[in-house]
Structure 1
């Protein structure tokens, strides 16, 4: 069983490869070859009233290829900085995190790889951003307003430049040093003009694409930012775009929803994730989950990626405002990207392994 760490991931695959792999994985899902379930979280109070424990998983697989499950073990708390509230997490102590992918063969059940999820997590979400921009933004889009300057923002920019000819980026984040460092390093890497700006309004002014990529607990894309012809995407930032922004969107591109469980044909599963929670013990300060995650939005303005890929057409008019999001297909991503990493690791001769025998037993379970 291969052990593939974050440094391996960084050198084994490119952002463009991850984007192509995920687009293929969605086609496998739409054709019925692949299957996944929504992300599932379990929340448990801790002895510290300011925080709580969250276990999260998402899983899926594809016929003839692989099955994978991504697992996360987090302590969750919230931090206020001025008007902003961010959700923070750690495992063991602040600054360390526990997230990994287990990859299996669907032909003989063999455990194949244990993979750190830190880098590939950012890359697969950024690939979604690029797929949405590819199909739903104006083809002549060349300017980006970026709200956020962390790792997710970096990978989204790396991803989007492969599907649109991006010439100019405005970046805002509350910490001046962060946005200035981001602008300097990413401009040098991508050879794109990137300007750090002092307000979110300055970041989104006169741009073709607005990308909200933050860990903010409240929405960062506001209705007054929206102008005709723009494309929007949001990761984090309050868990979706608020209703006032939704009203300004002409067309919503959603990648899809998981199928219902066998025997439940009439039950719709479009929540971004499902949460199970201990029934007591949480303090108000912990800000544990209190409502369902958002589902499909847009009504008769909603278009699914399966139809766009099938027809090769997304009905976008020049003045339309579009918004793209994955839906709850996270579980379909990890078998594809983990399978890609496993094959690349075999080719590269990555030698770290855990004996497969440790995972096998002679007692039927």
Structure 2
């Protein structure tokens, strides 16, 4: 019998460390060819957009889809081979955690092992889980955060200082979130680049995680073309949605042949970085593989603890 899990139950059952581990397995499977995805599809609906995306994981037997946009919130439907639907989950918190976990995973495999100075663009709920995830995979010694609203960035810095139990410093300019940083995260709603790519230090790793619309860019062509290793969560999704890459590719500054899937790096089929001075870039569009992998963790823990509302199917 399938179960329903609400936002509070998902929050209780899914922690960042377990989500990163689940995504590690899922992306390794994708790199080895045993996990597949259907990129996000956007359907017009009453003046808005209905979004749906799906994934299957052959090794674990889980598959499912996420849908959102036609009503408030996000929903994840989880299936297991031979059983059918096993869980219906509210997907807001799950989506927030898995997006952070994807950046944490990319940082684990692509950032320098001694990377310790983080700069973050964005001060919303998604920025929170970006920081929490990166702090799980690197021993951070300093953290800077920038967004255009000074009051919001100060409040965010105070909250994250408490959560991380170390100082998160709000900075007044974009340059201060890039200079002297060896990890830079962008998790904004901006349609234009949020910093000057010339400011990047050699050896920096970038997680560009805020954009999934082809006309939007969070990082400029300088940042993109300075990167030696560029990874995406899925090539087909990137070709549909990644404005950061499409802009320089359409202008002949970059070729898709230079872009690789994160799964190949996680599976050990190629290195995440080639030198200590190389700039590396992970472009995160957000794919359903992350939702299904995270949802499977939540579901299995719910069954172990006897949680969830039984559904009549």
Question: Structure 2 length as normaliser, TM-score?
Answer: 0.87
Pairs aligned (count): 301
Change (3 A) 1:102 1:294: farther
Quote the RMSD (CA, aligned, Å).
2.6
Whole-Å separation in 2 of the counterparts to 1:149 and 1:32: 36
Change (3 A) 1:235 1:255: closer
Structure 1 partner of 2:304: 347
Question: Structure 1 length as normaliser, TM-score?
Answer: 0.75
The answer to whether the Cα contact below 8 Å between 1:70 and 1:101 also exists between their aligned partners in 2 is yes
Gaps of 5+ in 2: none
Change (3 A) 1:68 1:293: farther
Whole-Å separation in 2 of the counterparts to 1:4 and 1:194: 33
State which drifts further: 314-323 or 117-126: 314-323
Residue of structure 2 aligned with 1:70, choices 59, 66, 70: 66
Whole-Å separation in 2 of the counterparts to 1:241 and 1:292: 6
Deviation, 1:203, is 2.1
Deviation, 1:300, is 5.6
Residue of structure 2 aligned with 1:332, choices 266, 279, 289: 289
The answer to whether the Cα contact below 8 Å between 1:36 and 1:61 also exists between their aligned partners in 2 is yes
Residue of structure 2 aligned with 1:197, choices 153, 156, 171: 171
Structure 1 runs of 4+ with >6 Å offset = none
Is it true that 1:131 corresponds to 2:105 in the alignment?
yes
In structure 2, the residue corresponding to 1:157 is in which secondary structure? helix
Is it true that 1:28 corresponds to 2:29 in the alignment?
yes
The answer to whether the Cα contact below 8 Å between 1:169 and 1:194 also exists between their aligned partners in 2 is yes
Deviations 1:184-243 (A, max 9, x none): 121121122211112222222211111111122222233233222211111225345332
Deviation, 1:325, is 2.5
Deviation, 1:251, is 2.0
Deviation, 1:164, is 0.7
Whole-Å separation in 1 of the counterparts to 2:185 and 2:166: 16
Which structure is larger by alpha-carbon Rg, 1 or 2?
1
Whole-Å separation in 1 of the counterparts to 2:185 and 2:285: 17
Deviation, 1:112, is 1.4
Deviation, 1:301, is 4.3
Deviations 1:96-137 (A, max 9, x none): x2310011122132x211111111101111111011111111
Whole-Å separation in 2 of the counterparts to 1:156 and 1:270: 20
The answer to whether the Cα contact below 8 Å between 1:38 and 1:273 also exists between their aligned partners in 2 is no
Residue of structure 2 aligned with 1:54, choices 40, 49, 53: 49
